[in-house]
Amino acid sequence: MATKERTKKAAKPTPEEKLCNELIELMEKGKNPWRKEWVSKNDGRHQNLITGNFYHGGNVALLEMYAMARDYEEALWLGANQGIKAGLTIKKGSKAVYITRPQLNAREVEGKDGKPKLDNDGNPVIAAWTSYKACAVFHVSCFEGEGLEEMKKKALGEEQVRNEEPKRLEDCENAAKAYHKQEKIETVWVGSRACYKPSKDQINMPERKLFDNSEALYATWYHEMVHSTGHESRLNRLKPASFGSSEYAKEELVAELGAFLICHRLQISSNTTNHAAYLNSWISSLRQDPKYLFKALGKATSAVNRILGSEVK
């Protein structure tokens, strides 16, 4: 009996598999889950209903994917216990979403003799590191109860608006220039193809006038900048890969997610033309390894921090 129970538990879909299945359904319909027009509500930022805190890093992308897959509108979320303590109840049939929560770990370092290693002052040397644990939250629409609307109004405050377009585009240009100067990388504006060339450590972009609008230009440019973070002199992520290969698809996914996170922080749309070939390759990659979505998010977050600096200290 115990063996059967363990088998059942092992066969239960993981959070990664559940999310990937939802995303695959979207992509099979021709929709890219990490490219979306700007949402004006709540400044487009995902927020906890009870604490008012905003979600950061890869969790922004995860919540955006869930929202798109399930047609959620407001960018408000909360944990089950938070809702219950606030006097709310979860609607029957509601499904949780899974984000990652940082967890600080620490332990004393041991010497070769097995005893605690001491520093120059005689204190134990402590090794500390951060790990990430899956954490379930629900969209605000999954709850009901007295006072819910007032909680939403309080969390949202007055409707936030984006910076005026000239300011947003100026921020995009300045952030790009700062990254280029810091990393000593060059962008050449010529031809009709956007790509990053690792051998030259150079970004190639079509002439600016060929883009339909400035936001599409910056979304594409930052996609290539994310690729450039994988250079051996930076995050050392890039591997030789031919178009259509699994490695190529995985790197493209990192660049897509990274560009989405950058556009979100800079308050511009990340919605550009979808490529069916990319969607099909991502479907294949995620089916083979659902856990890669979270790995790609981690790599994308590191790339974003390299380009824009860390959002959270």
Reported as a single tens digit per residue, the pLDDT across 122-161 is 899 998 877 777 889 999 999 999 999 999 988 877 555 5
How confident is the model at residue 34, as a pLDDT? 79
On the 0-12 / 13-18 / 19+ scale of CB atoms within 10 A, 166 is: exposed
Evaluate whether residue 298 is within a structural domain. Answer: yes
Evaluate whether residue 297 is within a structural domain. Answer: yes
Evaluate whether residue 284 is within a structural domain. Answer: yes
Evaluate whether residue 109 is within a structural domain. Answer: no
How confident is the model at residue 10, as a pLDDT? 55
pLDDT, one tens digit per residue, over 263-281 is 988 988 887 766 677 888 8
Listed in sequence order, the residues at least 6 apart from 118 whose beta carbon sits closer than 8 Å to its beta carbon are: 124, 125
How confident is the model at residue 313, as a pLDDT? 55
**In angstroms, rounded to a whole number, what is the distance separating the alpha carbons of residues 288 and 262?**
27
Q: How many helices (H) and strands (E) does the chain have?
A: 10, 9
How many structural domains is the chain composed of?
Answer: 1
Residue ranges for the chain with pLDDT beneath 50: 6-8, 40
pTM higher than 0.75: yes
**Three-state secondary-structure class, residue 197:** strand
Q: Half-sphere exposure (CA, 13 Å, Cβ side) for 139?
A: 20
Other CB atoms within a 10 A radius of the CB of residue 49 amount to 25
Evaluate whether residue 47 is within a structural domain. Answer: no
Max distance between CA atoms of the chain, in angstroms, equals 68
Residue 7, CA distances (Å) to 93, 288, 290 in order: 25, 21, 20
Which DSSP state fits 208? G
Evaluate whether residue 7 is within a structural domain. Answer: no
Evaluate whether residue 144 is within a structural domain. Answer: no
How confident is the model at residue 220, as a pLDDT? 94
Evaluate whether residue 219 is within a structural domain. Answer: yes
8 A C-beta contact, residue 198 and residue 235: no
Structural domain harbouring 179:
162-313
How confident is the model at residue 170, as a pLDDT? 95
8 A C-beta contact, residue 255 and residue 223: yes
Residue 34, CA distances (Å) to 101, 132, 137, 193, 261 in order: 21, 22, 20, 21, 9
**Three-state secondary-structure class, residue 283:** helix
How confident is the model at residue 278, as a pLDDT? 81
